């Protein structure tokens, strides 16, 4: 992944490249966007540029400005297998980033780079660091080792401790942009909007929608399992010690769960955007303010069934459901209660 191949947040790529060109790369960045998936390619592009063995562009100071995407280093970074680029994600079903994991990451950062490039540490969903983990991170944040960069990625920057935020350069992306929805999200929203727009929407229809939602989430989990399993070192090494195999298996299971929860939140976040459109329609807002113009007609019909106060209550209800999914509640039951609570 290089800066040249990024399809989103080109302004972020250009800013980072200007910093490289001027020799003013920050030691720590807090990158935020509505969707975590938008930030990871940017982090990989910076790590690749800093460690590329055959960069296509260099600044006058000799600093690489982009990556070639083909050298050994670039391929290793793309596969999350580079010795100097380390990723940390929420672990276990609680999706917490624990202090011991942060300390292990920082030990790697303080070691000298294996090659001639930089050490890069990327913390995805940095808002999931608890206070103990954040405090463990602070000392390195204040006194980072030479030729290292710390990248914190989050979709909820306000949940990151102020002591962390104040010590990072902050880049916020997508604040005024409409979110991008994938095919599965749009298909389910169309189904929901269509059923809700029909007069006399009944309980059986809601359960059919719940069934289709759980089916989509099952597909999502399977795709994540296949993706992370293929990238796991378990697939690359056969002759390993039982203790190491057990550790990698636990890390893989935790990684699958954490990534599923993150992408599930993104999937369900599309529901919030549609309910926002319904609320705006109930308030009589102009059509250009809607996030999903293709669903404008159905959104207006649904808005005609309910009051603005009820439309706002629907938004709050889904937000409570999403917050509950951050915990260990039973997924299907929580989604059932949340979907049946809506009044459309």
Note whether 33 and 120 are same-domain residues: yes
Q: Which CATH number belongs to the domain containing residue 96 in this structure?
A: 3.40.50.300
Pick from 145, 172, 199: which residue ends a domain? 172
- Closest of 64, 54, 113, 65 to residue 85, by C-alpha: 113
Pick from 172, 194, 227: which residue ends a domain? 172
Residue 132 maps to a domain: yes
Note whether 218 and 167 are same-domain residues: no
Q: Which CATH number belongs to the domain containing residue 250 in this structure?
A: 1.20.272
CA distance linking residue 282 with residue 63, whole number of Å: 54
Note whether 24 and 115 are same-domain residues: yes
| pLDDT at residue number 17 | 86
Note whether 326 and 223 are same-domain residues: yes
| pLDDT at residue number 87 | 92
Say how many domains are in the chain.
2
> At a CB cut-off of 8 Å and minimum separation 6, what does 88 contact?
97, 101, 102, 105, 121, 122, 123, 124
Residue 119 maps to a domain: yes
- Tokens found for residue 68: 């070639």
Residue 113 maps to a domain: yes
Note whether 45 and 143 are same-domain residues: yes
Integer-rounded Cα Rg, in Å, for the chain is 22
| pLDDT at residue number 177 | 54
| pLDDT at residue number 92 | 59
Pick from 140, 172, 204: which residue ends a domain? 172
CA distance linking residue 154 with residue 34, whole number of Å: 8
Residue 198 maps to a domain: yes
Instruction: Please tell me what DSSP assigns to residue 291.
Output: S
Domain that holds residue 163: 3-172
Three-state DSSP class for residue 182:
coil
Residue 19 maps to a domain: yes
Note whether 303 and 228 are same-domain residues: yes
Note whether 96 and 188 are same-domain residues: no
**Bridge partners of 176?**
none
Note whether 168 and 189 are same-domain residues: no
Calculate the alpha carbon distances from 280 to 5, 66, 205, 292 in Å. Answer: 36, 43, 25, 12
Note whether 15 and 136 are same-domain residues: yes
- Whether the model clears a pTM of 0.75, i.e. scores above it, the answer is no
Note whether 20 and 156 are same-domain residues: yes
Note whether 190 and 329 are same-domain residues: yes
Residue 152 maps to a domain: yes
pLDDT by 10s per residue, the chain, length 344: 688 888 777 777 888 888 888 888 889 999 988 777 778 899 999 999 999 989 888 877 777 889 999 999 999 898 888 989 999 988 755 678 888 889 999 998 888 887 767 899 999 989 888 888 888 898 888 888 888 999 999 988 888 888 898 888 888 876 545 677 888 889 888 988 888 888 555 678 778 888 888 999 999 999 999 988 888 888 877 788 888 888 888 878 888 887 888 788 888 888 889 998 999 999 998 888 898 999 999 999 989 988 898 888 888 888 888 878 877 778 889 998 888 888 87
Residue 61 maps to a domain: yes
| pLDDT at residue number 313 | 87
Residue 178 maps to a domain: no
Note whether 152 and 200 are same-domain residues: no
């Amino acid at each position: 992944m290089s800066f040249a191949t990024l399809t989103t947040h080109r302004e972020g790529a250009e800013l980072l490249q200007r910093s490289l060109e001027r020799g003013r790369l920050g030691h720590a960045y807090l990158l935020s966007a509505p969707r975590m998936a938008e930030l990871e390619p940017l982090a990989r592009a910076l790590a690749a540029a800093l460690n590329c063995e055959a960069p296509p562009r260099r600044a006058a100071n000799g600093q690489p400005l982009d990556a070639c995407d083909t050298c050994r280093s670039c391929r290793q970074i793309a596969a999350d297998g580079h010795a100097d680029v380390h990723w940390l994600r929420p672990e276990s079903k609680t999706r917490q980033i624990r202090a011991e994991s942060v300390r292990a990451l920082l030990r790697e950062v303080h070691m000298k780079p294996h090659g001639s490039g930089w050490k890069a540490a990327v913390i995805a969903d940095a808002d999931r660091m608890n206070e103990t983990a954040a405090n463990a991170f602070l000392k390195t944040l204040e006194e980072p080792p030479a030729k290292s960069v710390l990248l914190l990625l989050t979709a909820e920057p306000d949940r990151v401790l102020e002591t962390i935020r104040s010590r990072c350069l902050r880049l916020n992306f997508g604040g005024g942009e409409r979110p991008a929805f994938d095919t599965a999200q749009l298909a389910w929203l169309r189904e929901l909007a269509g059923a809700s727009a029909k007069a006399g929407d009944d309980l059986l229809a809601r359960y059919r929608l719940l069934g289709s939602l759980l089916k989509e989430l099952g597909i999502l989990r399977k795709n994540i399992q296949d993706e992370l399993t293929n990238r796991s070192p378990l697939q690359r090494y056969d002759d390993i010690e039982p203790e190491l195999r057990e550790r990698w298996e636990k890390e893989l299971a935790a990684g699958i769960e954490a990534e599923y929860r993150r992408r599930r939140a993104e999937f369900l976040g599309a529901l919030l955007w549609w309910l926002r459109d319904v609320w705006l329609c109930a308030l009589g807002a102009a059509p250009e303010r809607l996030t999903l113009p293709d669903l404008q007609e159905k959104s207006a019909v649904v808005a005609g069934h309910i009051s603005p106060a009820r439309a706002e209550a629907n938004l709050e209800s889904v937000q409570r459901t999403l917050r509950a999914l951050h915990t260990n509640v039973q997924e299907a039951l929580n989604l059932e209660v949340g979907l049946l609570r809506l009044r459309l």
